[in-house]
Chains A and B, each alone.
Chain A
Amino acid sequence: MPDVVCAIRGGPGSYQTRLVALQQAAETGVAVHFVSVVDPIAYGPLHEGEQHAIRAEMAWRDVALARATAAHAELQDVRFTVTVRVGELAETIAGFAREMEAGSILIGNPRAAADAVLVDDAAAKFVDGLHQRTGLPVFMVGSAG
């Protein structure tokens, strides 16, 4: 059975997203591939050392939080990987899912964050766009609150 790709951003709602991904993987016996994406435009004013540090810190954070989530849920046996990519979001997630030959994609709901910048329509469009690019089922975790 193909693995799960889970796109996270480390916001307040990401615990729920990680948990669902790990539970899904545990139920089906597959691995989870967590991916964090940095928009290159955000890199504009940052020098190479800072960009490298961001990627390294994101990887650190994702490994630490994924391990902690797995420990909370007693899912330590689930296999997972952590990847940080730079690029346009939808394009990068889709490319990563293809690379991992994933069976489904999980993303967190952007409306769950305090400073949410996305309206529900835009979030739905994003999910739809990701599905169009990959042909895979895309699930959004967490309610809009």
Chain B
Amino acid sequence: MDLPLVAAESQLLDSEVAIVLLLAIAAVVAVAVRRVRIPYTVALVVAGLGLAFIPEGSPIQIDISADLILAVLVPPLLFEATVHISWGRLRRDLAPVLLFALVGTLIGAFLVGGLVYRFVDGVPWAAAVAFGALISATDPVAVIAFFRSIGVSKRLTILVEGESLFNDGVAFVVFIIALAAAAPGATFSLSDAIGQFLIDAAGGLGIGLVLGYVVSSLILKNLDDHLIETVVTVALAFGSYLLAEEFGAIFDLADVHMSGILAVVAAGLTVGNIGLRNTSPTTRLTLENFWEFLAFVANSLVFLLLGLRISIGQLWDHADAILVAVLAIQVTRLIVVYGLGTLHGLVQPERKVPRPYQHVMFWGGLRGAISVALALSLVAEETSLGVDLVSTLQVMTFGVVLFTLLVQGLSIERLITRLGLAAKPQERTEQQRQQARIYAQQAGIDELARLHEQGVLFSDLYEAMAELYRGELTRDREELSDHLRRHPELETDMYLHARADTLRAERSALQDAARRGLIADDVLTDLIGEINDHLAALEFIESDARQGEIIVREEPGSDA
């Protein structure tokens, strides 16, 4: 009688062994990547390729259902990516972001699908569109890592991140519709598809917004426990995905489906912009670290699992199909970025996306974890697609991801630098290095004083050590002053950082005062709101100033 249970336990144990092995590989890759200057996702793809050599039946092989891949691995990737996006910044560029994400993804799905259908043998129209949809989801992880290291403007960052977040949701909805249309005997109606698309998108966003708001304003605001708050965000990320995806089943509405991806995006944005404002610095730090960890694990597993699904031989056998797919996504991206970019510039000239930004958006449109996760969710037994077709689509996905990460991912930094968009020249890095040393030395001096006050450190020894520290500190401060005298243009940047820091300190002091009962809640809300407005103003000023020394509205259609 216990046999089924024993079998289930054994299967669970096998899965655990496989996951532990995959995590160990991910850790090795992460360590190795520190020594070579390539993005982690690129290294993961290479490691995934290495896994393709592992023979069938090894303990690392793991069978995960399509639903599990999407429900377990996708929410952390999206939640982590959205939670730190500033709504204030996103709102200013919402028009181009939505244009690229919505129209661009639709164009991408059908254009790539059309080219694949035309030039790759054995791929039916609906399956080709499903591939076009899954491969249209851009992944900014590798590009954003470069943006941060070389100091690209926040506006370009938000354009790339924003497009990626929303196009994930759109790609997923189109992917699901196309897969349904691919089923034998299925009939396709454009009006039904548009209706389903709107319900999916609006329903998903609605669920995410409502749950995100409830968690932010009821739980994160009134609770001050970083562990419970972290658990609540976990429940929110996975729960909003599941509620949206299973809405029809839960409420006995068989035909109703809502986008889990858009639900997570909306929930993440709400928590990041409302919930985190109401939490303590400890909670924010815990949440940041926890979600970074979870996204790291999900990202690693997605790439390594795909590596396990395909072999080098398959890549070679499908080289022509991969070539078609790579060319198709490049042609499509070209049309989407420059075509929609120009269109947007005509409609909203004051927020036109500058041409150099468009170059970066074109070449920086890498494909990654979401495309791979969607490809992995194609399981022959669970879809109407045959084993060979599923294999072809997965190999094409891996080929495209491989190309974009290795070729585009490794050359994007050079492009950004050549376009003059990198804002961290040598002197700025040097300034940060000197500031960091002063900051660290000051912390050392403070710690010495604390030890001395506590009687742990003998007075003479304290004086001797403090004297040494003070000497180093004075020397480093003089070096920084000299550096700023040589590069006075750095002081604007320094000013903005210092001002933002002082405003954050003011906010913390107010929160502390409220916790101690010195000021009422409504006073706190007002004052925190004012400080948040000033912090948002600094971001506005920073991005505004980087547009040029004077403001000039470009003439519509100019190519500046």
Partner of A114, one of B422, B495, B544: B422
Within 8 A of A (CB), among B378-412: none
**Is B517's CB within 8 Å of the partner chain A?**
no
What is the interface of chain A mostly: helix, strand, loop, or mixed? Answer: helix
Contact with A along B354-385 (1 / 0, CB 8 A): 10100000000000000000000000000000
Partner of B489, one of A16, A88, A118: A16
**Is A82's CB within 8 Å of the partner chain B?**
no
The answer on a CB contact under 8 Å between A107 and B489 is no
Q: How far is the CB of B103 from chain A (nearest CB, A)?
A: 20
The answer on a CB contact under 8 Å between B545 and A11 is yes
The answer on a CB contact under 8 Å between B541 and A10 is yes
Residues of B with C-beta under 8 A to A17: 549
Q: How far does the alpha carbon of A17 sit from the alpha carbon of B422 in the complex, in Å? A: 22
The answer on a CB contact under 8 Å between B550 and A122 is no
Q: How far does the alpha carbon of A52 sit from the alpha carbon of B552 in the complex, in Å? A: 22
Q: How far does the alpha carbon of A64 sit from the alpha carbon of B492 in the complex, in Å? A: 10
Partner of B492, one of A12, A89, A118: A12
Within 8 A of B (CB), among A15-59: 15-17, 19, 37-39, 41-42, 44-46, 49-50, 52-54, 56-58
The answer on a CB contact under 8 Å between B549 and A37 is no
The answer on a CB contact under 8 Å between B488 and A72 is yes
Within 8 A of A (CB), among B505-560: 529-530, 533-534, 536-538, 540-541, 544-554, 558, 560
The answer on a CB contact under 8 Å between A15 and B492 is yes
Contact with A along B420-442 (1 / 0, CB 8 A): 11110000000000000000000
Residues of B with C-beta under 8 A to A88: 553
Interface size on A, residues (CB 8 A): 55
Residues of B with C-beta under 8 A to A39: 350, 551, 553
The answer on a CB contact under 8 Å between B354 and A115 is yes
User: In this complex, what residue of B is CB-closest to A114?
Assistant: B423
The answer on a CB contact under 8 Å between B550 and A89 is yes
**Is A112's CB within 8 Å of the partner chain B?**
yes
User: In this complex, what residue of A is CB-closest to B422?
Assistant: A114
User: In this complex, what residue of B is CB-closest to A49?
Assistant: B533
The answer on a CB contact under 8 Å between B549 and A9 is yes
**Is A100's CB within 8 Å of the partner chain B?**
no
The answer on a CB contact under 8 Å between B541 and A61 is yes
Q: How far does the alpha carbon of A107 sit from the alpha carbon of B492 in the complex, in Å? A: 17
Partner of B540, one of A11, A54, A64, A115: A54
**Is B479's CB within 8 Å of the partner chain A?**
no
Residues of A with C-beta under 8 A to B94: 45
Given contacts A39-B551, A52-B533, A108-B549, are A115 and B421 in contact (CB under 8 A)?
A: yes
**Is B485's CB within 8 Å of the partner chain A?**
yes
**Is B153's CB within 8 Å of the partner chain A?**
yes
**Is A1's CB within 8 Å of the partner chain B?**
no
User: In this complex, what residue of B is CB-closest to A129?
Assistant: B552
The answer on a CB contact under 8 Å between A122 and B153 is no
The answer on a CB contact under 8 Å between B549 and A8 is yes
Which of B350, B354, B485, B550 has the most chain A CB atoms inside 10 A of its CB?
A: B550
Within 8 A of B (CB), among A92-145: 107-119, 122-123, 126, 142
User: In this complex, what residue of B is CB-closest to A18?
Assistant: B488
The answer on a CB contact under 8 Å between A50 and B485 is no
Residues of A with C-beta under 8 A to B553: 39, 41, 88-89
**Is B470's CB within 8 Å of the partner chain A?**
no
A to B contact number (C-beta, < 8 Å): 158
**Is B499's CB within 8 Å of the partner chain A?**
yes
Q: How far is the CB of B556 from chain A (nearest CB, A)?
A: 13
Residues of A with C-beta under 8 A to B92: 42, 44-45
User: In this complex, what residue of A is CB-closest to B546?
Assistant: A115
Q: How far does the alpha carbon of A88 sit from the alpha carbon of B547 in the complex, in Å? A: 16
Residues of A with C-beta under 8 A to B356: 115
The answer on a CB contact under 8 Å between A11 and B548 is yes
The answer on a CB contact under 8 Å between B536 and A117 is no
Given contacts A89-B550, A112-B549, A114-B546, are A12 and B530 in contact (CB under 8 A)?
A: no
Within 8 A of A (CB), among B62-102: 88, 91-92, 94
Given contacts A15-B492, A45-B92, are A7 and B550 in contact (CB under 8 A)?
A: yes
Q: How far is the CB of A70 from chain B (nearest CB, A)?
A: 12
User: In this complex, what residue of A is CB-closest to B92?
Assistant: A45
**Is B288's CB within 8 Å of the partner chain A?**
no
Partner of B499, one of A61, A108, A115, A116: A61
Q: How far does the alpha carbon of A107 sit from the alpha carbon of B552 in the complex, in Å? A: 12
**Is A65's CB within 8 Å of the partner chain B?**
yes
Q: How far is the CB of B218 from chain A (nearest CB, A)?
A: 24
User: In this complex, what residue of A is CB-closest to B428?
Assistant: A12
Given contacts A15-B489, A68-B491, are A57 and B499 in contact (CB under 8 A)?
A: yes
The answer on a CB contact under 8 Å between B536 and A126 is no
The answer on a CB contact under 8 Å between B560 and A113 is no
Q: How far is the CB of A76 from chain B (nearest CB, A)?
A: 16
The answer on a CB contact under 8 Å between B560 and A60 is no
The answer on a CB contact under 8 Å between A115 and B547 is yes
User: In this complex, what residue of B is CB-closest to A127?
Assistant: B550
Q: How far does the alpha carbon of A54 sit from the alpha carbon of B536 in the complex, in Å? A: 8
Residues of A with C-beta under 8 A to B547: 9, 11, 110, 113, 115-117
The answer on a CB contact under 8 Å between B551 and A37 is yes
The answer on a CB contact under 8 Å between A58 and B541 is yes
Q: How far does the alpha carbon of A112 sit from the alpha carbon of B493 in the complex, in Å? A: 15
Given contacts A68-B491, A117-B354, are A45 and B546 in contact (CB under 8 A)?
A: no
The answer on a CB contact under 8 Å between A122 and B499 is no
Among all A-B residue pairs, the 3 with the closest Cβ atoms:
A108-B549, A110-B548, A53-B533
12 new A-B contacts at CB < 8 Å, known A126-B550, A126-B552: A11-B549, A12-B493, A14-B489, A14-B545, A38-B544, A53-B533, A56-B534, A61-B496, A61-B499, A68-B491, A110-B552, A114-B421
B→A interface (CB under 8 Å):
88, 91-92, 94, 153, 350, 354, 356, 420-423, 485, 488-489, 491-493, 495-496, 499, 529-530, 533-534, 536-538, 540-541, 544-554, 558, 560
* Pairs A–B under 8 Å by Cβ, sample size 8: A41-B350, A49-B530, A54-B540, A57-B537, A65-B492, A68-B491, A114-B153, A115-B548
